[in-house]
Structure 1
């Protein structure tokens, strides 16, 4: 019997036990990253009604304002963690970021004023933004080229577990939103696992050793080189634009699934309390399931057809599906049926960031470049989020969300100018 060729073997055939362990640890950190972001989205109405007992319009405005603060905090943390991870190693920075978002999430339990919420959401986001960039770089560096897209896609797809955990926590605590933030302390136990199990990637260690002995060493984690040297600067800014499209549409479009369902139920004479609970389930469980399938699908599709075609098709389909979801359903079950498709295409592209961004940059700039793309995109997404909040308060929510979905077309244009990385070794 002939031995199967290397190309005919499944992608996971040569993946080692340690590589699986790295994927599990990175994914666990990312699950709680997402939990920290989603738990606010799910509990914000109860939280803000307690802290700002005024008109609903004010609650909506403050909700988008605090989401903008979260995006800004993620940018600060991500950019800082990225350059530090390239300079000092992936493991210590991963530990620091997990500790940050765990502690400040737990402290949200005690928030009673608007400024408490603002400060704590910023500090939680610093840890969240930093952890993703380090973990994405770590997974890309540890896995072989044949398995990289699938492994990175799985890593990002585990975010759906964070969304489900947040949804279940939100449903469990009801109006007692404070207790949902105590769950955010749990990832602190990951620190022990990271410290005892994760080793620095050989690629990074070789660069670190070379920097010590070379007469003209490459500067690890240099923003100057990233932003001024070709081709890295072009890739960094275009990648930032691509991430801004995904992050802006996530907070302006994807998370609107909950509000679309709640408003439909209110139009159908469901009580506000009942509408809120059913909308949490529809968004946090049903739509999230579709989003999770989209995230898991992106890696295999990108490995088969290429990164660029997969990004482009997902974004074009998102533009098409959003107005259908907004205007076609007239009943709870009709919208519930469509929400998984809504999640599949609007959320699925996010797995592509974990796959694609680390492939654009050399080892000594990988975490810095990956972080700049993803977290720099948060900065650009902030005005999108603020504009989305204003637009939603001025016109019908369904029309506002449909208009905001046109931003996906910007992502299509950006992908036309970026390189294809399918089947290539990571840049050195």
Structure 2
């Protein structure tokens, strides 16, 4: 019988058929999971706001900045703001070394407070440049939350539940996005875009729960003294050392593909629907835009929950390859077929595919913690999931220029399908970690 080495000895592959008695989490483990779930959900709650009300926000803020709010300018400055957001997200890699040096909990609290405060301040913007500045600073907080939540959960929960809960954890971000869509669908006319951003202060309330109930995971606590004796930059040197450089670069490139797809497609779905509503004369534009965002989010949640099963059946590489294929089909169908045809029902038909493909990020929630040891796990997670945003920021800005030049979002956004095809060729750069325990 084939055996698999893991911490504490060996276990047989056949043992997976008999998982043994159910594993129960203690109170500290449950609090760690739900605190992380809540933080990541509030991250998605905030993240969705910028895409959902992008068109009405720019329509109001461009004229005071001396810019006409036509389709080309809304597309260009929308992509510019997206590029700045990604640049801010790239700066949030600093939360990783902070978490490895001082603990997972303080880094999580700091990131939540930062994105919560600056999202609320975005609601007071009087011109497009102030709004972009607030969006940039918000991103510095948002970018750290995924790394903090995923690292904390991976280290805190029982090993047998780690992969399963990793998929559930990542669905939290899209639960938050769905919540934003539902709120705007129900109260959008009363709130307006300013009111929606002011709700961004709500995640700050979660800090009270985390401070009171969340403890540092035992894996980090056992090495805390060693971590505190090292320099803040030591984890950054470790992830680029000879044994880890190849996988770190590979993760950066793969995540760069994911982010370009996310910002060029899912973020622009509400804008695409709003534009088609105007062109076709359909009614209930804000409601249809919210419905489109909600459909995409629901199917991404389904994909996230299914990720642990796919990752075990197909391997981490195989699961990511499947999601990349779905993204390719969804992008082509939405922007190369439905949008040029001005066919709203067809666009909505492709949204489930696009939504499922968007679960590609959930693979990394499971995969990244398995590739690095405790002393620099948070740094590796934060570095690869944030610096990749800088690569994507360049691509997003180029898309903005293309949208402005063509006067349409169709061809530029459809072309991002090529990024996912290229991503399939990069998969061998990152090691397969299926059936391997979390390294110490």
| Normalised TM-score (structure 2) | 0.88
Q: Is 1:229 aligned with 2:245?
A: no
| Cα distance change on mapping 1:326 and 1:122 into 2, 3 Å | closer
Match of 2:316 among 307, 311, 315: 307
- For each residue in 1:358-415, what CA deviation from the matched residue of structure 2 results, as whole angstroms up to 9, or x when unmatched? 2111111100000011001111110111112222333453333221111012221221
Find the counterpart in structure 1 of residue 114 from structure 2: 100
Contact 1:245/1:381 (8 A) holds in 2: yes
Find the counterpart in structure 1 of residue 91 from structure 2: 76
Contact 1:26/1:135 (8 A) holds in 2: yes
Find the counterpart in structure 1 of residue 423 from structure 2: 411
Find the counterpart in structure 1 of residue 299 from structure 2: 290
- For each residue in 1:254-286, what CA deviation from the matched residue of structure 2 results, as whole angstroms up to 9, or x when unmatched? 223223333443443326xx334312322x211
| Cα distance change on mapping 1:114 and 1:170 into 2, 3 Å | same
Contact 1:97/1:131 (8 A) holds in 2: yes
Alignment of 1:306-325 (within 5 A): 306-325=315-334
Match of 2:215 among 195, 199, 206: 199
Q: Decide which moves more: 139-148 or 153-162.
A: 139-148
Find the counterpart in structure 1 of residue 398 from structure 2: 387
Three-state SS of the structure 2 residue aligned to 1:153 is: helix
Find the counterpart in structure 2 of residue 185 from structure 1: 201
CA drift of 1:169 comes to: 3.4
Contact 2:223/2:375 (8 A) holds in 1: yes
Contact 2:329/2:353 (8 A) holds in 1: no
Alignment of 1:20-419 (within 5 A): 20-53=30-63, 54-56=68-70, 57-77=72-92, 79-171=93-185, 172-174=187-189, 176-210=192-226, 222-270=234-282, 274-282=284-292, 284-329=293-338, 331-345=343-357, 347-395=358-406, 396-419=408-431
Contact 2:111/2:140 (8 A) holds in 1: yes
Contact 1:11/1:147 (8 A) holds in 2: no
Q: Which runs of 5 or more structure 2 residues have no equivalent in the other structure? A: 1-14
Contact 1:227/1:236 (8 A) holds in 2: yes
Give the distance between the partners of 2:212 and 2:263, measured in 1 at CA. 36
Contact 2:331/2:416 (8 A) holds in 1: no
Aligned pair count reads 416
Contact 1:157/1:296 (8 A) holds in 2: yes
CA drift of 1:220 comes to: 6.6
Contact 1:82/1:221 (8 A) holds in 2: no
| Normalised TM-score (structure 1) | 0.90
